[in-house]
């Protein structure tokens, strides 16, 4: 097991790693839409989705991977009515074969964010 960390994504806000590589998989902890430079959260669900996914990509890149290595995503939304907007952002990041995905509405997200994203990636590039 190997911890993955980068300053290009927000530091963990608790006792967890940004990511862990184990048995050929990389598990990226839930990423809030926090800008790693300013520590701010952008306004609006589209901007927050872009920021959260940028944080995910930064952690993937720190492990030598990219969006093409992602096999599973989980998106937590404060409001499921934002699904269509988040889906538009998602479609700009991932391509066929799209990762498996779950998307759920939750009661609350840390720091008042509108969404949080976590992913699982494999260390070998997916064949498309």
Catalytic residue among 62, 103, 109, 120: 103
* Residue 26 among the catalytic residues: no
Report the DSSP pairing between strands 115-122 and 25-31: antiparallel
Q: How far is CA 114 from the centre of its chain?
A: 13
Q: How many CB atoms lie within 10 A of CB 12?
A: 13
CB atoms within 10 A of CB 44: 12
Burial of 8 (0-12, 13-18, 19+ CB in 10 A): middle
Catalytic positions are: 103
């Amino acid at each position: 097991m190997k911890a993955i960390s980068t300053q290009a994504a927000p530091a963990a806000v608790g006792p967890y790693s940004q990511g862990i590589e184990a048995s050929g998989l990389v598990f990226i902890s839930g990423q809030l839409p926090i800008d790693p430079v300013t520590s701010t959260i952008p306004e609006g669900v589209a901007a927050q989705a872009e920021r959260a996914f940028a944080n995910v990509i930064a952690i993937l890149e720190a492990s030598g991977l990219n969006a093409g290595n992602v096999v599973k995503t989980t998106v937590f939304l404060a409001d499921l009515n934002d699904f269509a907007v988040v889906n538009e952002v998602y479609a700009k990041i991932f391509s066929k074969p799209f990762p498996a995905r779950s998307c759920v509405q939750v009661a609350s997200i840390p720091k008042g964010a509108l969404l949080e994203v976590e992913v699982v990636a494999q260390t070998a590039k997916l064949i498309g």
